[in-house]
Structure 1
Amino acid sequence: MRAIVYRRTGDSSVLELSEREIAEPGPGELRVRVAVSGVNPTDWKARRGSGSAAATGETVPNQDGAGVVDAVGPGVTDFAVGDRVWLAISGWKRAVSGTAQEYLITLAERAFPLPDEVSFDVGASLGVPAVTAHRALTVSEDAPARLHPGALDGKTVLVAGGAGAVGHAAIQLARWAGATVLTTVSGDEKAALATAAGAHHVVNYRDADAAAQVRGIAPGGVDLVVEVAAGANAELDQSVTHERSTIASYGNDGGAPVTLDFGRAIMLNLRYQFVLIYTMGADAWIAAGEDVTAAARDGALAIGAEAGLPVHRYPLEETVAAHDAVEGGVVGKVLIDVASE
């Protein structure tokens, strides 16, 4: 079978198209025929030898994807041959289980049912972005730990970077769950994308009065912040929250130090929750898998320019270009066509 591999870390030139044997699944494993592979920032960071998903030895890149179960290992009862699935962090601590190959062996716990009405493209776009967004939206003291329509009724959520993949998923999941959604972006083009994703209100974080704009929309403060740049946005986040608000941070784009006003934070009982899905607990994974699947089934996690997340596609043999696009900061979702649907 065709597979993309790298045997040393580095820039995208280490990626090469190779032939690998089709393996048999062991206990607790599935073999999946991959239709579409999704590319995330975590994938190029791992390829460069940094980040949570970095691996050693021969490695097949890309954590997320979608396809069809081709074989089932001993002890697996939740899946059968022919089931459509979406995959999340398939290659976590399993170097050759990345999705940039025609067939992969993955743990059954890293696969989730893909409803018939949901495309492989959407399925390959879930994984890291949607699970991260789900985790960020469910860690508040005064909010539910599960998402469903109505779960966030009456809540106000601020999503930083609403034009990014995680921000896009957070907007969609929060809207699906009933929240009022604000988002911050850097300009008009990204504002249009965030609005298309479903944000009720958009603020340019570069405006000197960005915090005042947020307060004008949510005078009492926001209940939850989904944060991509914890350091750069620390002052903004702390100035628009209220008692027992939560700032759920999954990234620190720009690398600025995270500075806290301790007095203000303690008086508000402010909660900072750092979000990394690779090390979150099993119960959180079960919740995310079920809720994200339900949202996708309801059509709440659409992709494409009209839904606020432009799609950029590449064939498997152009995985180098796909990685370069993500590493270069392309706006939208990068997908790799591995096999026809």
Structure 2
Amino acid sequence: MRAIRYSQLGEARDVLGLVEMDTPAPAAGEVCVRIALSGVNPSDVKSRKGRPGMTHPPFEQVIPHSDGAGVIEAVGEGVDPARVGQRVWIWNGQWQRPLGTAATHITLPEAQAVALADDVSFETAASLGIPGLTASHAVFNGGDVAGQTILIQGGAGTVGYLAVQLAKWAGARVIATTGKSGAARASSAGADVVLDYAAPDLAEQILAANDGAPVDQIIEVEFGVNIGLDAQVIKPNGRIAAYGSAKEMEPTLPFLPLLFKAVTIDIILVYLLTPTQRALAIDQVHRALAEHALECPVEQTFSLADTALAHEAVEAGARAGAILVDCQS
């Protein structure tokens, strides 16, 4: 098989290389998937560049990327042979293992290759692993959201855009915050109200948009920066689902306001969902797709040989869709 591989940390064009290697045969309980498209996420970029305290990759050789979609070509012992030829999407492809989806093939436990409906494109499916499940878990891990008001901070971002769609599909009223350039995108996803996150009176605007009442839940992309505001606008016994805090990784919490509202803080790392949580997130995503209520736009697709350019596109930010790699080109 052909694969993109790195053995040291650094800039994409310096460390990523295209190699030929043997396709791993599926062991018991595993499947081998021919990857059509691989999804590139910020976490893939950060792992390749090196997170704080990292001096070398966790494995001697790493094939990056956790998301992807393709067709099962072979199965190991104990796996239903009828799965051969099945269209699937991948989750946790490179989580705590060296061989990810930036390759023509991936071999992994069969549960991590989820059956894909015939009417869902590989382009959409390649975004379901990290962005899709993060959004689904953020929206639904607190239970039924019908009739609730949900504040989605960063509603024009990759996860936020999907979360807006899922929350609206499930019957919630959505207030989204974005930068000025993202307002139209959040509105197109279905947000009832879109507010500028830089507004000096943002808390007052959020409450006013909800008829003066605090919001039921908050989905948070910048926990450290926004926790003070979130504490102001969340209702008693409300939930803050935080999946990011890149601008402030060591936040100071306004504990007293949070305490006297008995707020639940739900810190999300999509790689570590329990089997029950993951099953719920997958089910909700599949249901939304079946009802044509979830769109996963694509910004740009690169060839496998140009994976370094795909990483640079993710690093550049300011995109309105997924960055994919065509693994068969």
Offset from partner CA, 1:262-317 (integer Å, 9 cap, x none): 2221111111111112222121112222221222222222133xxxxx52111111
Q: Please tell me whether residue 170 in structure 1 is matched to residue 156 in structure 2.
A: no
Distance (whole Å) between structure 2 residues aligned to residue 48 and residue 134 of structure 1 = 28
Distance (whole Å) between structure 1 residues aligned to residue 253 and residue 47 of structure 2 = 30
Could you say which residue in structure 2 is the equivalent of 1:197? 189
Offset from partner CA, 1:208-254 (integer Å, 9 cap, x none): 11111110111221111111101111121111111111111111021
Could you say which residue in structure 1 is the equivalent of 2:78? 75
After the TM superposition, which residues 36-47 of structure 1 pair with which residues of structure 2 at under 5 Å, given as runs? Answer: 36-47=37-48
Could you say which residue in structure 1 is the equivalent of 2:279? 286
**Identical-pair percentage:** 39
Q: Which moved more, 1:284-293 or 1:243-252?
A: 284-293
Gaps of 5+ in 1: 145-150, 305-309
Distance (whole Å) between structure 2 residues aligned to residue 128 and residue 55 of structure 1 = 20
| 1:9 partner amino acid | L
Q: Please tell me whether residue 86 in structure 1 is matched to residue 74 in structure 2.
A: no
Could you say which residue in structure 1 is the equivalent of 2:205? 213
Counterpart secondary structure, 1:224: strand
Counterpart secondary structure, 1:130: helix
4+ aligned runs moved over 3 Å, structure 1: none
Counterpart secondary structure, 2:83: coil
Counterpart secondary structure, 1:31: strand
Could you say which residue in structure 1 is the equivalent of 2:259? 266
Residue 64 of structure 1 is aligned with which of 62, 67, 72?
A: 67
| RMSD of aligned alpha carbons | 1.8
CA contact (8 A) 1:90 1:107 kept: no
After the TM superposition, which residues 190-339 of structure 1 pair with which residues of structure 2 at under 5 Å, given as runs? Answer: 190-218=182-210, 219-255=212-248, 257-304=250-297, 310-331=298-319, 332-339=321-328
Could you say which residue in structure 1 is the equivalent of 2:11? 11
Question: Structure 2 length normalisation: TM-score?
Answer: 0.93
Residue 105 of structure 1 is aligned with which of 87, 104, 107?
A: 107
Could you say which residue in structure 2 is the equivalent of 1:121? 123
Question: Structure 1 length normalisation: TM-score?
Answer: 0.90
CA contact (8 A) 2:89 2:129 kept: yes
Distance (whole Å) between structure 1 residues aligned to residue 239 and residue 276 of structure 2 = 20
CA contact (8 A) 2:156 2:186 kept: yes
Distance (whole Å) between structure 1 residues aligned to residue 151 and residue 157 of structure 2 = 14
- CA gap of 1:245–1:79, structure 2 versus 1, over 3 A, is farther
CA contact (8 A) 1:28 1:75 kept: yes
Distance (whole Å) between structure 2 residues aligned to residue 85 and residue 127 of structure 1 = 11
In the TM superposition, residue 79 of structure 1 has moved relative to its aligned partner by: 6.3
Q: Which moved more, 1:54-63 or 1:251-260?
A: 251-260
In the TM superposition, residue 152 of structure 1 has moved relative to its aligned partner by: 2.1
CA contact (8 A) 1:85 1:114 kept: yes
Could you say which residue in structure 2 is the equivalent of 1:181? 174
Count of residue pairs the alignment pairs up: 323
Offset from partner CA, 1:162-220 (integer Å, 9 cap, x none): 11111111111111111111111111x21111111221111101011111111011122
CA contact (8 A) 2:227 2:254 kept: no
CA contact (8 A) 1:122 1:301 kept: no
Gaps of 5+ in 2: none
CA contact (8 A) 1:29 1:73 kept: yes
- CA gap of 1:176–1:79, structure 2 versus 1, over 3 A, is farther
Distance (whole Å) between structure 1 residues aligned to residue 269 and residue 325 of structure 2 = 24
- CA gap of 1:118–1:78, structure 2 versus 1, over 3 A, is farther
Distance (whole Å) between structure 1 residues aligned to residue 145 and residue 16 of structure 2 = 43
